[in-house]
Amino acid sequence: MERLETRLTHRQKALLKRAADLRGRTLTDFVVSAAEEAAESVIRSEYVISLGAGGSAAFARALLDPPEPNGALRAAAHGYLSSQPLG
């Protein structure tokens, strides 16, 4: 286990304590849980793409029946492949 210390105003601590009491949790448990949920939300928003029905259908179509690569994509692939070491 590790320790995390923080400084709070009286109002902030009272607010967190009240919320913890309403949930039947200790202040520490409530704060750690809330911080963990917030951290997971931030990470999810940075790394997970959410699509609606239309976006999901378009993505599935692109995977199942991809369009032919255009000239710019071919040039980029050729540039990338020619920069890779042989072996």
Q: How many domains does the chain have?
A: 1
Is 31 domain-assigned?
yes
Is 60 domain-assigned?
yes
- pLDDT, tens digit, for every residue of 27-74? 999 999 999 999 999 999 999 888 999 999 999 999 999 999 999 999
Is 49 domain-assigned?
yes
Is 84 domain-assigned?
no
Range of the structural domain that residue 47 is part of: 1-66
Is 82 domain-assigned?
no
- pLDDT, tens digit, for every residue of 14-36? 999 999 999 999 999 999 999 99
Q: Cα separations (Å) of 84 from 70, 72, 74, 75, 78?
A: 22, 19, 16, 15, 10
Mean pLDDT of 74-81: 94
Q: What is the pTM of this model?
A: 0.58
